Structure 1
Amino acid sequence: MKTFSVLFVCMGNICRSPTAHGVFLHKVAALGLGQQIQVDSAGTHNYHPNSPPDTRSQAHASRRGYDLSHLRARQILDADFEAHDLILVMDWDNLALAQSESPSRHHAKIRRLTEFCERHDSPVVPDPYYGGDRGFEDVLDLVEDACDGLLKYVQRQLATSARRSPGF
């Protein structure tokens, strides 16, 4: 069975990328696609190694039914560029940093998460860390929207891959 792997990336891997990780994982599981779609997250910086997501991110996500408590922060690794089919960054700085760290052959895998938004029109998922509650809600609004579009995209990729290489 073909699998597809998605890595979400923000700066410290404690607010935006674990939120996207948790939301997308929830949506993947709800459709029974956990064996086909792998989900992970990382940060461009190693500010919070092995820390759980920010308590505010966890609280806001929990109110919408997403559990982030099992996730732990880590820095993006060289191996991630090879291992993942799609690397989705939260903003322009994350995009530049991820591209500067990755071999050029993997640059096409690195995209902004908001490219998958279906209802919202935002070039980035803004960092809520230094803001108030509204910022965390805005992150969830953008992430939920983008994850819906992303899920459709990944399902199309899996279907196309399955048509190209039928199992024998």
Structure 2
Amino acid sequence: MKHIRILFVCMGNICRSPLAEGIFTHLVAEARLTDRFTIDSAGTGGWHDGEPPDRRPTAIAGSHGIDITRQRAHRVRPIDLTRFKLIVAMDRDNVAELSRIAPPETNIRLFGDIAVGTGEDIADPYYGGPEGFEMAYTRLLTGCSSLLETLGVERASCSGNTSSVR
């Protein structure tokens, strides 16, 4: 299997994309495939550059055995658009913004298309309550598991902690 470079993107890089990065990284590690992937996340906006993920997705991830506390937000850089071979946006607004700034050959995909298969946007839970973050976790876990399969890898054997959704 060739090395795959994947970038998860949302608006500010403090909620959905760091959660997706954490979940996918965890699944890849469980499958013992860490050396085959480069995984990162970024935002289309730079308002939170250098900040850790929001406390709410950090707590949700932690409750499922995933640590995202070392991540730091950053805006998508021009080099990211050529360095990463697969750029996965959380919603259509982010796909549109990435398409506006990226070279035409950039592989930009909607998470709801490539990972979940429903074409849905992963809703931004930032202005909502805890249930929105749990829903985002659930959709991202489902999608990241499928994405690992789509990329030609046997589905990671999830620990009970990671695969459970309360």
The alignment's TM-score, normalised by the length of structure 1, stands at: 0.87
- 1:110 match: 108
Aligned 8 A contact 2:110 2:119 in 1: no
**Gaps spanning 5+ residues in structure 1: where?**
157-168
- 2:135 match: 138
Which has more helix, going by share of residues?
Answer: 1
Deviation at 1:122, TM superposition (A): 5.7
Deviation at 1:155, TM superposition (A): 2.6
Matched ranges for 1:114-125 at <5 A: 114-115=112-113, 116-117=115-116, 121=118, 123-125=120-122
- 1:23 match: 23
Aligned 8 A contact 2:8 2:17 in 1: yes
Deviation at 1:35, TM superposition (A): 0.4
Aligned 8 A contact 1:58 1:67 in 2: yes
**Gaps spanning 5+ residues in structure 2: where?**
154-166
- 2:52 match: 52
- Bigger Rg, structure 1 or 2: 1
Output one character per residue of 1:13-61: Cα deviation in whole Å (capped at 9) or x when no partner: 0000000000000000001111001100000000101100000110011
Computed over aligned residues only, the root mean square deviation of the Cα atoms, in angstroms, reads 1.3
- 2:6 match: 6
- 1:166 match: none
- 1:147 match: 144
Q: Which moved more, 1:146-155 or 1:3-12?
A: 146-155
Number of residue pairs matched by the alignment:
152
Percent identity of equivalent pairs = 39
**Alpha-carbon distance in structure 1 between the residues aligned to 2:8 and 2:152:** 17
